[in-house]
Amino acid sequence: MKRIARCLWGTALLYVGIGVAAAQETTPPPKVLVIDREFTKPGKGGSGHDKSESAFVQAFARAKWPTHYFAANSMTGKSRTLFFIGYDSFDAWEKDNMAAEKNAALSGALDRAVAADGDLLSETDNAALTYNEDQSLRGPVDIAHMRYFEISLYRVRAGHSHEWEELVKLVKGAYDKIPDAHWAVYEEMYGQEDTTYVVIVPMKSLAEVDKSMQNDKQFVDAMGEDGMKRLGELESSAVEYHQTNLFHFNPAMSYPRDEWVKADPDFWKPKPAAKAAAKTKEEPAAKQ
């Protein structure tokens, strides 16, 4: 039974996020999510990529740009960084792009940053996704205090969307009985083949993965034997491919919203004094 469930949802819906405090401010998932992916060349990631990306952050900060984004680095799979930009609509995305093109100072700074960043990359791609609230469970979370994303991609066979929807309904119904379970489902409109869904699980720490494994029995009990059997049938029929990976947030590459910085400044915008103190400690060793 557990093998079938894990095959169905990888870690995305079994290792759901745990322990979102009700008192903390939650952020609804954006209706349109643009994801830019940058694959780094071997040996070109880490601090070198952080420094390269800081040019983009500084350019947007100088322009006081109203559209914000944040980055997450891969912990599994190919070495890559994902950049998440949320919009209320595709029209809002268009207006943001047009405004950036008309801003000569910003456009020039971004062009220079792109040229420098390109030397570190082996490949890039982009995708535009739309939020599927019906298939999500408790989507709004305190994203400012999250540190990880668990992201699963599911490609649905042509003509089997109705089976996918039934599958999601069964899984969501079972996890609805587990209060702390949460995830956001996006459907890719542009950038992927066929019908593709992306399941995003925000987490505060990887300890949530360990804790959530304890939910297996609750899930199986909620589904029942007939429900688990039906899940296996639907998975076999509807899902052509799936992959799950872990990502950790990278504040050095991010241009976060002001509310996030206020909520957790030590993470999103470390104090200059802390950086200065660290530099002071390093200087004596450098002179020896």
The most confident of the ranges 10-14, 159-163, 281-285 is: 159-163
Amino acid type, 210: D
* pLDDT > 90? residue 276: no
Amino acid type, 252: A
How many structural domains compose the chain? 1
In a domain, 284, yes or no: no
The rounded percent of the chain whose pLDDT value lies above 90 is 76
Give CA–CA dist 178/181, Å, rounded.
6
* pLDDT > 50? residue 74: yes
In a domain, 138, yes or no: yes
Residue range 172-215, pLDDT digits in tens: 999 998 888 899 999 999 998 789 999 999 999 999 988 777 77
> pLDDT at position 152, please?
96
Residue range 18-62, pLDDT digits in tens: 444 334 688 999 999 999 999 999 999 999 999 999 999 999 999
In a domain, 163, yes or no: yes
In a domain, 42, yes or no: yes
> pLDDT at position 214, please?
76
* pLDDT > 80? residue 12: no
In a domain, 192, yes or no: yes
In a domain, 103, yes or no: yes
Residue 33 token pair: 């999510």
Average pLDDT rounded to a whole number, residues 75-96: 98
Q: How far is CA 17 from CA 36, 137, 150, 199, 234, in A?
A: 24, 11, 9, 12, 24
In a domain, 19, yes or no: no
> pLDDT at position 216, please?
78
> pLDDT at position 24, please?
62
Amino acid type, 87: Y
Mean confidence (pLDDT) of the chain: 87
Domain range for 243 is 2-14+25-277
> pLDDT at position 32, please?
98
pTM of the model: 0.86
CA contacts within 13 A on the Cβ side of 272: 0
In a domain, 155, yes or no: yes
Residue 93 token pair: 């995305």
Average pLDDT rounded to a whole number, residues 252-267: 96
* pLDDT > 70? residue 2: no
Give the CATH number, domain containing residue 146: 3.30.70.100
* pLDDT > 90? residue 168: yes
Plot region of 141 (φ>0 → left; ψ -120 to 50 → alpha; else → beta): beta
* pLDDT > 70? residue 236: yes
* pLDDT > 80? residue 94: yes
Q: How many CB atoms lie within 10 A of CB 184?
A: 25
